[in-house]
Amino acid sequence: MPLRIVASRPDPAIVTLPWSLPLEEWTDQHVVPLPRGLSRHVVRIVRLGTRTYAVKETVAEIAFREYRLLRDLHRLGLPAVAPQGVVTGRVDAHGEELPAALLTQHLRFSLPYRSLFAHGLSADSLPALVDALVVLLVRLHLADFFWGDVSLSNVLFRRNAGGFAAYLVDAETGELRSTLSRQMREYDLTIATENVFAELLDLQASRSLDANVEPHDIIALIQERYAALWAELTDVEEFHTGEMWRIEQRIERLNDLGFDVDELDIITDFDGDRVRIQPKVVELGHHRRELQALTGLDVEDAQARRLLNDIAAFTAHHDLGREDRNLVAYRWLVDVYEPLVEMIPDDLRGKLEPAEFFHEVLVHRWYLSERAGREVDIRETAADYIANVLVTKPDEVVTAESAEAVGDV
């Protein structure tokens, strides 16, 4: 049976992988030591040159379905791992058929929830994880995507200015529909609460989570925050025509949540005395798009908001309010952001994304300034943070050195 590879981003090196061996027999010659979440399938993470992929064994029909669905999610701009390809026609040395394999690009600086707790994440961070999962679920539902298996295990998390951003990593049970009913949304939410409840109990059983954490409280938080965010993004609001400022107020509230309003439905009553408004199309990434337009930096939305605030502080400090905002942002990028990022030693660059490092330095500066009773210089702060905090953090991305340690492919 001939080996067949269907790929959206062709990488000739994929052919060199040992497809005649079951994934569970792949050795350190091919596999890199990145943390993996729980999966019903055999999954391995491999590095080919400068690229890193997750490889999952499954049935060919399911592999192609998930591959196409992930491509659709990417076309819609939704947070999910990027599909790389599907490999079929695998046979072992005895001619026995092996499962098909789905390849996805590994998401840099991302971790499964178990690894976050293994790296010392405390129970205090659970609300931030819940928020990330809820935002992901709401965004998928807004796009009429039915997940069918919502859980922490099917998500990868990236740090996001002290919080987290969540990415869908398993779309096997998912379905893009023409419309998504309230009942289907509620079913997804029910699945989420059941799965997360079990996952929290499992963390407690393995002593990765404080035994005093009450899983029922976390489940209630998921339901509460989903309902609140869904209502803010979709509810109809009615007011008198003399209160038209409320349209701008609604848009500003959505912007504060990180969403842009791409379409707003505005209806007046028969007499023209009352107005009803309802957001029809909303899209997360308000701050991210604004920062990228100003500086070219592509970061998570909460990180972007933090960097935009620092640009505003830089503008005020140097009395640049009358200057062109794009020029001021470029000056901030060259004088502040890039010099700080360049201070990170090469052997520590796998600890945090540059934008998250910058956020952490800003937080560290506040603590140092409080302790010193004066405003501490930002470069002095970065040096102290690198020496005393960054060195203690675990690597969250595969570096060239760590890949070489397990062998090149």
Instruction: State what percent of residues in the chain have pLDDT above 90.
Output: 68
pLDDT higher than 50, residue 61: yes
- Tell me the average pLDDT across 293-303: 95
Residues 116, 117, 120, 121: is their CA dihedral positive or negative? positive
pLDDT higher than 60, residue 407: no
pLDDT of residue 397: 65
CA 175-178-182 angle, to 5 degrees, is 80
* Domains of the chain and CATH, by start: 4-106 (3.30.200), 111-233 (1.10.510.10), 237-284 (no CATH), 299-392 (no CATH)
Q: What share of the chain is helix, strand, coil (3-state, %, to 5)?
A: 50, 20, 35
pLDDT higher than 50, residue 84: yes
Name the pTM for this structure: 0.87
Q: Which two tokens stand for residue 391?
A: 């060195």
Beta bridge partners of 259: 284
CB under 8 A, 24+ apart: contacts of 287-294 = 287/258, 288/258, 289/260, 294/325, 294/326, 294/329, 294/330
Residue 126 in contact with residue 218, Cβ under 8 Å?
yes
pLDDT of residue 408: 31
pLDDT tens per residue, range 247-259: 889 999 999 888 9
CA–CA dist 283, 279 (Å, integer):
11
pLDDT tens per residue, range 181-213: 999 999 999 999 999 999 999 999 988 889 899
- Tell me the average pLDDT across 218-243: 93
The three-state secondary structure class of 87 is strand
Is residue 90 classed exposed, middle or buried when 0-12, 13-18 and 19+ CB atoms within 10 A define those classes? buried
- Tell me the average pLDDT across 96-106: 94
pLDDT higher than 80, residue 265: yes
Q: Which two tokens stand for residue 265?
A: 């439905």
277 phi, psi to nearest 5 deg:
-125, 145
Amino acid at 405: A
